Structure 1
Amino acid sequence: MTTTRTVLRTKDTADDGDLYMSFELGDKQWQMSIGDGRRTVSRYTVGAGNTAAVADCIVKAAARLRTGGRAQVHSCYEAGRDGWWLHRWLTDLGVDNIVVDAASIEVNRRARRAKTDRLDADKLLAMLVRHHAGEHIWSVLREPKSGDEDARRVHRELQRLTHERIAHTNRIGSLLVLHNLRPRIIIGGRDWTAWWDNHCEQVPPMLRAEIEREAARLKLVKEQVRVVEAARCKELAEGKQPLV
């Protein structure tokens, strides 16, 4: 089977020149725009994560645009939920890929487009061409080492769990205030069960059940916080510096 590298390096094409490729990464589909910076852009839609389809689109675009045998493919996508696996796959394929910080991408204020909106693939493609022409138009992120990337998981999970714990606690407090119940103990703490046993009859049945489900979720989160914190303490005891 002919590989993408082989097709891009064949010598039956007419023009020498680089290919530029951008991705708009969706949950179910990816939008790809591929061009040489001069002619009409080729647009493709592939299933999210379908690397075989991505490689096939590169081959098709190279044939359509008749790039030279030594064509270099440059690509980009915005940093997001797909992380770095796509970057590493493209690099292994021989593509010169960059991952850009979405917050650093320029936005046309006249278009009144929210800065958080995902830019379409054509817009990214045009900016990629400008980037390789020497313009400073965005911030390119540096690929982390695989080990460092994984080491950050503990810290990030602890942050999320802490936010969840606060959210559950605040939710229970808000539900109690609906009936003028204002506990002077820590919600979910060691005195919570006794306090709730003494006050739960003051709350209607449906609300009581909701509070108890919320308290059960809070208990689970607190248990997970203890597990993650224990893992961090073990790392520190072993002389490891946790990454954030």
Structure 2
Amino acid sequence: METAPVQSKTQTAVRTDLGAIFVSLELSRSTWLVTSLSPGNGEKMSKRPVDGGDVAGLLDRFAQLQQKARLRTGRSFPIVTIQEAGLDGFWIHRVLEANGIESYVVDAASIATSRRRRRAKTDTIDGEALVRALLAFKRGEPRVCAMVKAPSPEDEDRRRICRERKVLIAERVRHVNRVKGLLFAQGVSGYQPLRKDRRKRLEELQTGDGRGLPRHLKTQIIRELDRLELLLEQIAAVESERNSLLAAHEEQAAKGPGKAAMLLSLKGVGAEFAAVLWAEGLCRHFDNRRQIAAYAGLAPTPWQSGTIDHEQGVSKAGNPRLRTTMIQLSWLWLRNQPGSALSRWFVDRVQSNGGRLKKAAIVALARKLLIALWKYVTAGVVIEGAAMKSA
């Protein structure tokens, strides 16, 4: 009985000519796990922890990896790193690039994982998976993962104005609802905390059974109004800063109107919509309409296997703020731009379905409108039938 020949150790190793040291960073608040695959070390991956936030320790670890690879092979190798986009933002990526290190930030959801119902997950396993994804990406394998394009510090900072306003608006809604709820429990309705005479009207309120407001309840509502008025001041300050930013962008556009100004010229598009669309999406470069639809999470998600072929809806994998804004803008577009080709398409689509599936149609309109706005601000293609604001 013949037995199979025993393979040598070199045959079982990963036969890859590594031209660099590939490193993944599994980041947490307390520890950074550095997983590396170096030339001359076979298929073995090295794993070493570094204290979270210790950039000097991380760079020292990279120097050690390069020194060991130089001793094994007699050659010097560059460092190529990968990390997941997440809580740490892009500052580590910028530090690495400033030190001459090739760095990539990957969308973690784009990396293939085991489909078992209970799959093992540890920082060690995730670190190795990141290294394998980086190797495949550098080999040029298509669709192996989706690398995130890090925004510039200026673009990243510009987004904060609209994002802060959204947070403040949500807080304002909570305070208004809390005041109305406290009064409704006493039989009082119709009080509007956002009116300028809110404090005067508060003094005139009576409960449903004809009593004046209880002392402690009135004191609590006054404190709620104090916080509400502070929020209103902050919202006004943020909106003023937003308007100044739009005006400055218009002044910097020497060759013609800037993107934000072009958006503002459309009827139904206000300062907030224009600022969000510009800061969250249209300031970036996209090669085609599929890229911008995917960035907003408005790209379709097909499910096709054999004879089964249906759509699962939009992917929702992109920028959630841009996607939400486009849905809101689509409803307003129907009201302010009824004569545009996009509005007529929506009406015909809904009527063909017997007036049903409006929500699905508005998402489709949001995708079409985003693509049309992108063409408008980048190539000057005017949206068919769109009305412009009067001078």
Shared fold by TM > 0.5? yes
Deviation at 1:16, TM superposition (A): 6.3
What does the per-residue CA deviation read over 1:62-116, in whole Å, with 9 as the maximum and x for residues that have no partner? 3455465331211111222332221121112222111122343334331557xxx
Deviation at 1:134, TM superposition (A): 2.6
**Aligned counterpart for 2:20 among listed residues 18, 21, 30:** 18
For 1:42, the equivalent position in structure 2 comes to 46
Question: CA RMSD for the aligned pairs?
Answer: 3.1
Q: Distance in 2 between matches of 1:42 and 1:122?
A: 9
Question: Which runs of no fewer than 5 residues in structure 1 stay unpaired?
Answer: 1-14
| Change in 2 beyond 3 A, CA 1:235/1:93 | closer
Q: Distance in 1 between matches of 2:73 and 2:202?
A: 72
Normalization by structure 1: what TM-score? 0.75
| Change in 2 beyond 3 A, CA 1:154/1:57 | same
What percentage of residue pairs aligned between the two structures are identical? 32
Q: Distance in 2 between matches of 1:68 and 1:151?
A: 47
Deviation at 1:175, TM superposition (A): 4.2
What does the per-residue CA deviation read over 1:172-213, in whole Å, with 9 as the maximum and x for residues that have no partner? 33444444443x2432432322343344854583x6555444
Normalization by structure 2: what TM-score? 0.50
One-letter identity of the residue aligned with 1:80: G
2:116 counterpart SS class = helix
| Change in 2 beyond 3 A, CA 1:180/1:132 | farther
For 2:85, the equivalent position in structure 1 comes to 79
Which segment drifts farther, 72-81 or 37-46?
37-46
**Aligned counterpart for 2:152 among listed residues 145, 155, 158:** 145
Q: Distance in 1 between matches of 2:130 and 2:18?
A: 23
Deviation at 1:25, TM superposition (A): 2.0
One-letter identity of the residue aligned with 2:238: V
CA contact (8 A) 2:66 2:76 kept: no
**Aligned counterpart for 2:61 among listed residues 34, 57, 60:** 57
Report the number of matched residues: 224
**Greater relative contact order structure (CA < 8 Å, 6+ sep):** 1
Are 2:237 and 1:227 equivalent residues in the alignment? Answer: yes
Question: Which runs of no fewer than 5 residues in structure 2 stay unpaired?
Answer: 1-16, 207-211, 252-259, 261-274, 281-391
Which structure has the bigger radius of gyration?
A: 2
Q: Distance in 1 between matches of 2:113 and 2:180?
A: 42
**Aligned counterpart for 2:163 among listed residues 131, 156, 160:** 156
Q: Distance in 1 between matches of 2:23 and 2:153?
A: 25
1:80 counterpart SS class = coil
| Change in 2 beyond 3 A, CA 1:236/1:44 | same
